[in-house]
């Protein structure tokens, strides 16, 4: 056997492990504070002030909520399928966390003379990976809903499955148009192209809009929160769940929101590109530049998270037939149209703008 | 048919236009409205630190009054208990002994005076029935309690602080009312 294959680069393993731990914990902390932000945004939009007792401005509220969830009694219904009942929230959480692996969080850090890329896995099919993992998220809903052995949960699981499948189509179609523009599936290359020229939102405004709507549907956020419609289905697929298993489901939703915000920022808003600022010309800033890039990405992500919440507290839930009509009769034709127009432009451009 | 008010609005059942079907325009309008509320002044009052002022005619917890020398005004006549529609007031009368003139204004006084705040409907009829101006309703309400017996207020809970021994507390309890 070839010896070079066996020689494992120990530093690479350590570097990736540190990155994974860092990114997972950052995602968890952000998800925690998303719950706080959600309550604050909801309160402010409804002319209230929101949680403000635990710590200054209620900053410790998510800790209190988490502690409460952990302390609660854990109930597994005796008619449920025990294995699947436990597997459901685990799958939901896992699918939510896995997407972050292919996202470029910043440029290359310089640690002790070693170049460290702030991306766990720079695979060349990055977007396909995101799609694969995101569509796994529906298994958490389906398995959890089915294993609960409850009519409401089953209804919610059915709704969730059909909704996610319906909205994955326009999402994929809108991304195909984007991929025609970029010519690459690699996340780091898509960001690199945007750093050199303008952001993809300028080329693909319609594509971004379709992607945004579909991201709302994929995250089961209002106006597409039919799987957990509390007033129709008693909280839907996680009705039978309690304690931290419920917490996992709720957490998975917030992590999904964070990750889809990151994906949107990366694909359409230049990722970690600092706007109105030539990153390449300031390479001598070294690690500070990378930190700045990470901060800029975080700001973009925060804006999208705010958008998610803003929409949630503005728009009421769609009816099921409206949801399906919007998905199949409006978004798919729109994204097909977007795809054809983009393809024509790309062809025209490669032909030197001649017919 | 003529509308009763000018607020009546005919229901519009036109089929949705293309822009309306895309929801985008109306959603945008809605989002601007909610963003406006985001920056509005909040209606919340942070309760224990900040309190809304009560109306001067608010009927809250009862107070057993004293006269200006600090003697209890109540003579245990029972008119308040009789007037009470909720039967929340009970009392026991006792005779003033020699040497207690600085405690009780008349020869007869209430040895026990209890109001059950769970029964009380805060109608204020006891206040109106009292011939001696001994009981009145203040501008506070009953704090929560874990037990029912915590809501049965005895004399030590109801009596106003003495204006002689504790004038500051007395003024606070009397509030905006005319001291009599």
Which three-class secondary structure string do you get for A310-343?
Answer: HHHCCCCCCCHHHHHHHHHHHHHHHHHHHHHHHH
Q: How close, in Å, is residue B33 to chain A by CA atoms?
A: 9
| pTM for the predicted model, two decimal places | 0.77
Q: Is residue A253 part of a domain?
A: yes
The Cα of A41 is separated from the nearest Cα of chain B by a number of Å equal to 8
Whether A248 contacts A86, CB under 8 Å: no
How far, in Å, are A10, A19, A121 from residue A7 at the CA level? 9, 21, 19
CB crowding A208-225: b at 16 or more within 10 Å, else e:
bbbbbbbbbbbbbbbbbb
Domain containing A190 equals 9-350
Tens of pLDDT, residue by residue over A109-142, are 777 767 777 777 778 888 888 888 888 888 888 8
pLDDT tens, position by position, A170-214: 888 888 888 888 888 888 888 888 887 888 888 888 888 889 888
Q: What is the pLDDT of residue A5?
A: 59
Nearest-Cα distance to chain A for B49, in Å, is 12
The reply to whether A97 falls in a domain is: yes
* Chain-chain contact of A330 with B21 (C-beta, under 8 angstroms): yes
Beta-ladder partners of A115? A110
- pLDDT of B177 > 70? The answer is no
CB contact under 8 A, B38 and A44: yes
CA distance B41 to A174: 41
Chain B contact present for A53, CB below 8 A: no
d(CA A352, CA A340): 19
pLDDT of residue B82: 92
pLDDT tens-digit series, residues B101-155: 888 888 898 899 999 999 999 898 998 998 988 888 888 877 888 988 888 998 8
In B, minimum Cα distance to A45 occurs at: B38
Q: For residue B112, give the H/E element and its range.
A: strand B108-116
Determine whether the interchain pair A310/B34 forms a contact, defined as Cβ–Cβ distance below 8 Å: yes
Tell me if A4 is assigned to some domain.
Answer: no
Number of domains, chain A? 1
* pLDDT tens-place string over residues B13-54: 888 777 777 677 888 888 898 888 888 888 888 888 888 888
**pLDDT tens sequence across A84-96:** 888 888 888 888 8
Interface test with B, best of A39, A47, A327 (most B CBs within 10 A): A47
- Return residues 57-116 of B near A (CB < 8 Å): none
A-B contacts at Cβ under 8 angstroms: 38
Select from A45, A209, A315 the Cβ nearest to the Cβ of B38.
A45
Buried b (16+ CB within 10 A) or exposed e, A126-154: bbebbbebbbbbbbbbbbbbbbbbbebbb
With respect to residue A274, please indicate whether it lies within any of the assigned structural domains. Answer: yes
A138 domain-assigned: yes
Contacts of B42 in chain A (CB under 8 A): 44, 47-49
**DSSP assignment, residue A224?**
S
Q: Search chain A and give the residue with CA nearest B40.
A: A47
Segments of chain A scoring below 70 in pLDDT? 1-8, 113, 230, 279-280, 282-283
- Whether B22 sits inside 8 A of A330 (CB atoms) is yes
Q: Domain B62-174 is of which CATH architecture? A: 2-Layer Sandwich (3.30)
Find residue B135's DSSP bridge partners.
B64
Measured between CB atoms, does A288 come within 8 Å of chain B? no
Q: What is the largest CA-CA distance in chain B?
A: 94
Does residue A355 form part of some domain? no
């Amino acid at each position: 056997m070839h010896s070079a294959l066996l020689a494992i680069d120990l530093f690479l393993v350590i570097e990736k492990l540190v990155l994974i731990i860092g990114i997972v914990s950052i995602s968890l902390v952000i998800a925690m504070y998303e719950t706080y932000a959600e309550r604050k945004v909801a309160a402010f939009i409804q002319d209230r002030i929101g949680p403000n007792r635990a710590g200054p401005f209620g900053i410790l509220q998510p800790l209190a909520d988490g502690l409460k969830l952990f302390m609660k009694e854990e109930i597994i219904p005796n008619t449920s399928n025990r294995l699947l009942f436990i597997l459901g929230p685990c799958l939901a959480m896992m699918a939510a966390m896995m997407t972050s692996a292919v996202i470029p969080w910043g440029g290359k850090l310089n640690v002790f003379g070693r170049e460290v890329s702030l991306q766990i896995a720079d695979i060349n099919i990055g977007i396909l990976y995101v799609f694969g993992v995101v569509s796994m998220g529906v298994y958490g809903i389906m398995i959890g809903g089915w294993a609960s052995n409850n009519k409401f949960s089953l209804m919610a699981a059915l709704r969730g499955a059909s909704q996610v499948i319906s909205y994955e189509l326009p999402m994929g179609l809108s991304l195909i148009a984007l991929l025609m523009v970029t010519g690459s599936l690699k996340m780091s290359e898509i960001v690199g192209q945007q750093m050199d020229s303008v952001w993809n939102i300028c080329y693909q405004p319609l594509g971004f809009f379709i992607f945004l709507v579909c991201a709302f549907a994929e995250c089961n956020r209002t106006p597409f929160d039919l799987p957990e419609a509390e007033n129709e289905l008693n909280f839907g697929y996680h009705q039978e769940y309690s304690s931290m298993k419920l917490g996992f489901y709720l957490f998975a939703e917030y992590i999904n929101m964070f990750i889809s915000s990151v994906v949107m920022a990366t694909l359409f808003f230049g990722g970690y590109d600092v706007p109105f600022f030539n990153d390449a010309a300031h390479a001598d800033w070294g690690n500070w530049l990378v930190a700045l890039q990470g901060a800029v990405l975080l700001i973009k992500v925060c804006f999208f998270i705010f958008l998610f919440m803003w929409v949630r507290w503005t728009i009421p839930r769609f009816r099921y037939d409206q949801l399906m009509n919007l998905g199949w009769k409006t978004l798919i034709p729109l994204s097909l149209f977007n795809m054809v127009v983009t393809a024509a432009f790309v062809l025209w451009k490669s032909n030197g703008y001649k017919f | 048919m003529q509308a009763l008010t000018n607020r009546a609005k005919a229901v519009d059942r036109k089929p949705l236009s293309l822009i309306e079907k895309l929801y985008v325009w109306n959603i945008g309008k809605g989002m601007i409205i909610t963003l406006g509320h985001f920056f509005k002044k909040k209606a919340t009052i942070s309760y224990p630190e900040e309190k809304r002022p009560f109306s001067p005619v608010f009927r809250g917890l009862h107070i057993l009054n004293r006269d200006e020398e600090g003697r209890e005004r109540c003579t245990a006549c029972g008119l308040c208990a009789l007037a009470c529609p909720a039967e929340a007031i009970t009392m026991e009368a006792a005779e003033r002994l020699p040497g207690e003139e600085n405690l009780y204004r008349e020869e007869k006084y209430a040895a026990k005076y209890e109001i059950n705040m769970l029964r009380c409907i805060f109608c204020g009829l006891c206040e109106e029935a009292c011939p001696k101006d001994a009981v009145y309703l203040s501008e506070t309400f009953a704090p929560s309690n874990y037990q029912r017996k915590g809501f049965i207020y005895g004399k030590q809970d109801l009596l106003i602080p003495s204006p002689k021994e504790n004038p500051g507390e007395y003024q606070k309890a009397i509030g905006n009312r005319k001291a009599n």
